[in-house]
Amino acid sequence: MEMKYGGEESRQFVTNLGLVTSNGKWGHNIMTAEWAHHISYDPAMVVINVHDYDATADNIIGSKEFGVSLASESQAELIWIAGHASGKKSNKIAALEELGFRFYKAGKIGTYMVEGAVLNLECRLVKYEKIGDHIMFIGEVLEAKANETEGPAIFRSGTGIYKVGERLKHSDGSEREKRVEEALSRHTKANAPA
Ligand SMILES: Cc1cc2nc3c(=O)[nH]c(=O)nc-3n(C[C@H](O)[C@H](O)[C@H](O)COP(=O)(O)O)c2cc1C
């Protein structure tokens, strides 16, 4: 079956927004990816999913590397521009610099990285495969720089860009926590590991 972009099923997913930087056939480039996830701690690895017709896909397949800068809550305009123009038609990095956005050169790979992002990851391509209607690129993180001066921008698929909101409580006090522990121990499995 299909879950359409913007449909009520897709809208229930929330993600970070990755600003994926690359260099290759289409020159230095940046694109927005809602599908940018951390998938391994050690070694640190991330996955991004990119349409095969995007300039970014050609660049990564050719260069075997990419950057992921997780956008901060003050970067909504940058997210929008990088996600609506194609690097096949425009030099987005040059246009963004003209508009006042700042980049720096990655230390371990040959791409630009976004200044002011909450996390900048320089990645070596480990594996890629067409999965459904996107290409899944898995990268090993060679360099990571976190910046906690702002929170991350959040994407509610097909709906809009948000900032982190109120923290939800998972317990309403010690009496309830005691009941949770008791309920779990009453239902201990016979083959539970020691
Ligand atoms: C908020 C947002 C999230 C997006 N997420 C993705 C994504 O995860 N994967 C993808 O292939 N395209 C995604 N896009 C679309 C690409 O960013 C867009 O097609 C872009 O123009 C591709 O650039 P390129 O051709 O320079 O690589 C997203 C766009 C926006 C605005």
pLDDT along the chain (194 residues), means of 10: 94 97 98 98 98 98 98 98 97 97 98 98 98 98 98 94 93 85 95 91
Give the C-alpha separation, 138 to 125, whole Å: 6
β partners of residue 129: 136
What pTM value is reported for the model? 0.96
pLDDT of residue 167: 93
pLDDT of residue 157: 87
The CB of 155 under 6 Å from ligand 1? The reply is yes
pLDDT of residue 161: 97
Residue 53 has what DSSP assignment? T
pLDDT of residue 141: 98
Give the C-alpha separation, 95 to 78, whole Å: 11
H runs (alpha helix) in 109-192: 174-186
Ligand 1, atom 16, residue with closest C-alpha: 83
The CB of 4 under 6 Å from ligand 1? The reply is no
Contact assessment for residue 61 and residue 108, using Cβ atoms and an 8 Å cutoff: no
The CB of 106 under 6 Å from ligand 1? The reply is no
Look at residues 61, 68, 71 and name the one whose alpha carbon lies nearest to residue 38.
68
pLDDT of residue 158: 83
pLDDT of residue 172: 75
The CB of 79 under 6 Å from ligand 1? The reply is yes
- Looking only at the bridges linking them, the beta strands covering 103-105 and 65-70 are unpaired
Element (H, E) at 97: helix 92-98
Give the C-alpha separation, 157 to 177, whole Å: 34
Domain residue ranges of the chain, discontinuous segments joined by +: 10-186
Ligand 1, atom 19, residue with closest C-alpha: 83
Give the chain's radius of gyration (CA, Å): 20
Please state which of the four CATH numbers 2.30.110.10, 3.40.50.720, 1.20.1050.10, 2.60.40.10 is assigned to the domain occupying 10-186. 2.30.110.10
